[in-house]
Structures are given as structure tokens and as C-alpha cells.
């Protein structure tokens, strides 16, 4: 097969970090991206070239293009972390083994991005996708579903009988709800709108608390007493999360994996670290991928794919946007709400 030399891509306009902290809302892509052409990247040793079928849009992508994520932007490179596609070229033994296979990947580091026709990624980070899995499920099955699976593993290993999940009406929250029901560990879902409650309960959350409810604190205190949740999985890291943590029982762990909130939370009860053995820590999927063994990664990915193939999990797609139309259509598609937005070359 002859590869083209040029490809379409959404190209980063800025370098490094912005220093601002405005969250994942995007009015317009103009300040951050250009639609244009780039040379098709060439795989180096140990790398593969993937012809992209579908790329997903995660909150981390939006933070990243705005310069508010934990990794610096590279001006002139394609944006986009995650997707699914076919391996068309590669260097090295494992890369050659992958040739012709459909793989899911997380890239976007070192100059190549998923919001393009092609991406170069390390062969070792590619995940072979089982034939029975839909592109829609495969395109986003590393960042969110693997995060859900690994974070749920932390919950299981802790021995707690329940856990609290903030901003629970996210894709991650929905995935966690199913895992919690299937494993008999109660999920106390904290959400913003009453209208989101029924859907989360149907997916498996045992309790749903609405933050604007005047009885929120009283209901939370009641659940902390009866269910003793020891883990708070939190993507917000604002004062409301700090207040939930303060209300939790002894030995509670606040695990921060995202930063949706803009204010800096206050630790009103530092004595709880001493006398109640509480902890604050973080979770970052990139670190898990760096540190987990090959076997652990393989088992996790297989378990995640099987959940999609059996229908235990299903990716809710809000919109498919063509790469060429993304500059104008993506912001509107992101405002549709429920479900993921996919970018298709």
C-alpha cells in the first residue's frame, strides 16, 4: 500500500502551558487549533503508524489544547490523545506483528496526535481490539474505561463497602456505576442536577446525592454513618469535594484524578490526617500505564473489552464530527451533553 505524504489534522496553535485555569468549556476552537495539513509522520524504532478510523474527545483533550493539562503543548503538532485505527506501518518486531491489526491507542505526546488522518505511537502502548468490538466503543476504551477499571480496582483492594464519586454524571461515573453494581460495592454518586439521578440509578449507583439539595449535607452525613465510605473518587478538587472528605469517616482516602473545579479547596480539619488517619492522593492513568506490569495491563484491557462486547458497558455517542468540519462543529457538539463526541477523518 502506498501511503500519502500529506494528511489533514487539527493543529495546535500554542506551545507549553497557558497558566490560566478556566476548565474544559470551549466556546470556539479558533484560539487553540487550526485545520490544516501536516506531513504524514514516519514511525521510528519501536513505533507504528496508525490510519485513524475514529478519535474520541475527552475532557483531558480540551484541557490540553487550552494549555491547562499536566503536559505541555507542542505548537504545530496535531491535537487529540485517543482513538482507534489500523496499523499500516512500523519499525521493530512487535510493530511488524501489529501491522494490519485494528488497535486502540493513547498518543498525543511527542508531536503526533489523534485528531488527524494518521498518528505515530509506540507499538508497546497499542491495544489490539477484538473483532466483536465496535469502533465507537474501541475509540474511547483506553482513557475512560481503563481508568474506571483501575480506579475501581483501588476501591476493591481497599476493602471498603462503599465509595463516593463526584461529578458522577460523566462517562467515567456511568462506567463506575455498572462496576459498582456488578461487584456489590455501593456507589454514592454526587451530581449537579436532579434530572441526572434516574439514569445513574438505572446504571447501578446505589445512592444519588444532588449538590444543590438543601439537605445534601444531612443526607451525606447519614450515608457516611450507615455505609462508612472510605474512598472519595474526585475529578473536581474544589471546596465541595473538601467538605465531602471532611464528612467522611476515619481512614478515608481522597483520590483526586481530575481538576474540574477552579477554586482552591481549604483543608478545614488538618487534625483528621493525624487522629483519623485520612489521606489525600492522586490517580493518573499515564502513571498506571508506566508502572503496571504487562500482564496487569493485558488483563485489564481484556476485561474492559469483554465488558463492551457483552454489552455490560456501552459507549453513548452524542455526535460524530468530521475532521474537516471540527473547527465549526465541535464546540456545538460538545454542548449536546450526554454521551461522547467522536472525530472521524
Q: Provide the pairing of β-strand 253-256 with 231-234.
A: parallel
Distance CA 23, CA 238 (A): 12
* Residue 259 binds to a copy of itself (criterion: CB under 8 A): yes
Distance CA 135, CA 120 (A): 19
Distance CA 93, CA 277 (A): 49
Contact yes or no for 124/148 (Cβ under 8 A): no
Among 287, 302, 322, 335, binds a copy of itself (CB under 8 A): 287
Among residues 3, 28, 338, the alpha carbon closest in space to that of 174 is found at 338
DSSP 39-71: EPP---TTEEEEEEEEEEE-HHHHHHHTT-SSS
Nearer of residues 258 and 345 to a copy of itself, judged by Cβ:
258
Among residues 316, 315, 287, 308, the alpha carbon closest in space to that of 150 is found at 287
CA 136 remoteness from chain centre: 15
Residues 60-79 contacting a copy of itself, CB under 8 A: 70
* Residue 283 binds to a copy of itself (criterion: CB under 8 A): yes
Among residues 189, 132, 179, the alpha carbon closest in space to that of 306 is found at 132
* Residue 158 binds to a copy of itself (criterion: CB under 8 A): no
Among 41, 80, 140, 265, binds a copy of itself (CB under 8 A): 265
* Residue 280 binds to a copy of itself (criterion: CB under 8 A): yes
Among 264, 303, 312, 324, binds a copy of itself (CB under 8 A): 264
Nearer of residues 216 and 257 to a copy of itself, judged by Cβ:
257
Contact yes or no for 115/79 (Cβ under 8 A): yes
What track of x and - describes contact with a copy of itself for positions 227 through 246 (by CB under 8 A)? Answer: ----------x----x----
Among 15, 222, 281, 338, binds a copy of itself (CB under 8 A): 281
* Residue 271 binds to a copy of itself (criterion: CB under 8 A): yes
* Residue 22 binds to a copy of itself (criterion: CB under 8 A): no
Contact yes or no for 60/81 (Cβ under 8 A): yes
User: Is residue 240 within a helix (H) or strand (E), and if so which, with residue range?
Assistant: helix 239-247
Residues 169-208 contacting a copy of itself, CB under 8 A: none
Nearer of residues 256 and 334 to a copy of itself, judged by Cβ:
256
Q: Provide the 10 A C-beta neighbour count for residue 270.
A: 8
Nearer of residues 285 and 319 to a copy of itself, judged by Cβ:
285
Nearer of residues 273 and 298 to a copy of itself, judged by Cβ:
273
Closest separation in Å from C-beta 70 to a copy of itself: 3
Among 128, 217, 267, 327, binds a copy of itself (CB under 8 A): 267
Question: Under the rule (CB under 8 A), what is the footprint of a copy of itself?
Answer: 70, 237, 242, 256-259, 261, 264-268, 270-284, 287
Amino acid at each position: 500500500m502506498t501511503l500519502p505524504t500529506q494528511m489533514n489534522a487539527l493543529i495546535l496553535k500554542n506551545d507549553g502551558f497557558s497558566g490560566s485555569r478556566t476548565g474544559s468549556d470551549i466556546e470556539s476552537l479558533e484560539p487553540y487549533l487550526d485545520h490544516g495539513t501536516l506531513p504524514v509522520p514516519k514511525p521510528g524504532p519501536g513505533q507504528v503508524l496508525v490510519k485513524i478510523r475514529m478519535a474520541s474527545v475527552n475532557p483531558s483533550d480540551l484541557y490540553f489544547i487550552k494549555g491547562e493539562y499536566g503536559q505541555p503543548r507542542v505548537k504545530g503538532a496535531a491535537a487529540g490523545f485517543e482513538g482507534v485505527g489500523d496499523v499500516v506501518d512500523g519499525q521493530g518486531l512487535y510493530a511488524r506483528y501489529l501491522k494490519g491489526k485494528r488497535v486502540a491507542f493513547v498518543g498525543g505526546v511527542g508531536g503526533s496526535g489523534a485528531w488527524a488522518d494518521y498518528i505515530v505511537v509506540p507499538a508497546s502502548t497499542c491495544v489490539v481490539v477484538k473483532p466483536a468490538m465496535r469502533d465507537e466503543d474501541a475509540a474511547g476504551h483506553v482513557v475512560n474505561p481503563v481508568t474506571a477499571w483501575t480506579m475501581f480496582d483501588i476501591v476493591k483492594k481497599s476493602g471498603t463497602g462503599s465509595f463516593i464519586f463526584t461529578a458522577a454524571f460523566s462517562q467515567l461515573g456511568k462506567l463506575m456505576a455498572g462496576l459498582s453494581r456488578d461487584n456489590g460495592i455501593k456507589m454514592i454518586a454526587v451530581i449537579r442536577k436532579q434530572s441526572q439521578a434516574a439514569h445513574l440509578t438505572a446504571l447501578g449507583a446505589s445512592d444519588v446525592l444532588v449538590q444543590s439539595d438543601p439537605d445534601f449535607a444531612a443526607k451525606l452525613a447519614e450515608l457516611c454513618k450507615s455505609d462508612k465510605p472510605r474512598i472519595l473518587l474526585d475529578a473536581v478538587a474544589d471546596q465541595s469535594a473538601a467538605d465531602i472528605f471532611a464528612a467522611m469517616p476515619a481512614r478515608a482516602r481522597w483520590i483526586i484524578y481530575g481538576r474540574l473545579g477552579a477554586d482552591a479547596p481549604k483543608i478545614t480539619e488538618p487534625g483528621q490526617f493525624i487522629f483519623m488517619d485520612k489521606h489525600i492522593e492522586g490517580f493518573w492513568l499515564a502513571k498506571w500505564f508506566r508502572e503496571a506490569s504487562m500482564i496487569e495491563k493485558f488483563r485489564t484491557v481484556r476485561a474492559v473489552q469483554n465488558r463492551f462486547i457483552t454489552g455490560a458497558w456501552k459507549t453513548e455517542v452524542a455526535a460524530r464530527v468530521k475532521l474537516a468540519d471540527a473547527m465549526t462543529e465541535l464546540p456545538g457538539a460538545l454542548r449536546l451533553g450526554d454521551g461522547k463526541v467522536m472525530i472521524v477523518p
